[in-house]
Amino acid sequence: MRTVVFVKRQELELSGSLSPNALVLGDVDNDSAYELAVGSLDGDLLIFKGEETNPIASASGLGTITCVGIGDICNQGKNSVFTMSAEGYFHVFSVEPYSPKEENVKETTEEEKYDGGDEKTPGHQQESHKLEEIHKQQLSANSKVILLADIDLNNSFELVVGFTDRKVRAYRWQTFVMEKDGEVVTYGKFVMLQMWVLGGQIGSLSLSRHSDNFPKLVVSQPGCNYAELSCDWVTRSKLKETESGVTHVINHPITNKRARNANISTEIIANVSK
């Protein structure tokens, strides 16, 4: 038996409750190092870096945050951090590389160290700065889980969102050009590509691979079951044919019928294959 002891650890004090999908590690500021992004149900987004116990950047008023993600969501070669709320508000933020500056660092005074009788760690405290919001959009409400991945092998990322109403929607960032007041204006927004309807509550979203290395979008279903979702804008010979045409939701029930229990939730992490 192997025993792992987590002696060296770091504790972060957070206020409010968290959704299980609103806690993620990723390179937020594109410095080749991971940061921790945390979103609360109170609408606060906090970014932690390294051994800093105070957030290096933050944002508030984002609704009831259910999901947080990090990645090149706008397909511009630069990572961003994004949040999805239960009300359907979708926010994308840009984070500049973190570098402590003297004007942003304050010395902890003796009174602050022992305020109220509680001992505090002496030294410097980095004050957080506000995150720069680069996009805001109203999407569907009641989001539960998100996945940012290239689901159609087109070298661009798509945003896949699972909702509590058993629906999954895929979005992609698109750029548009229009003329306004005699000037050419470029803007972008997320456009829905497809929607799938599942038979049971969605547990998780993950991306696997077919034998030909083509992406396979997998959704976990109650009772240790899962479903495979195919994109209607992609033509592949492996799509299952039915009397009404091509079905884009292929259910894979567990082979042991006695083990099927709709009351058991299912989570699939990643890299699922036969």
**In angstroms, rounded to a whole number, what is the distance separating the alpha carbons of residues 35 and 70?**
10
**What are the pLDDT digits (tens) for 11-52?**
888 888 999 999 999 999 999 999 999 999 999 999 999 888
Cα 272 to Cα 204: distance, rounded to the nearest angstrom: 12
Stretch 55-82: mean pLDDT, rounded? Answer: 95
Q: Where are the domains of the chain?
A: 17-96+127-138, 144-274
Report long-range pairs for 243-248 (Cβ below 8 Å, ≥24 apart).
248/194, 248/196
Q: What is the CATH number of domain 17-96+127-138?
A: 2.40.10
**How many angstroms separate the Cα of 243 from the Cα of each of 234, 240, 246, 247?**
20, 10, 8, 10
Cβ(151)–Cβ(217) under 8 Å? yes
Residue 220 has pLDDT above 70, yes or no: yes
pTM for this one? 0.81
120 or 257, higher pLDDT: 257
Number of CB atoms found within 10 A of residue 218's CB: 22
**Residue 246 confidence (pLDDT) above 80:** no
Which tokens in the block code for residue 187? Answer: 């803007």
CB 153, CB 216: distance < 8 Å: no
Per-residue pLDDT of 160-200, as tens digits, reads: 999 999 999 999 999 998 888 888 888 999 999 999 999 99
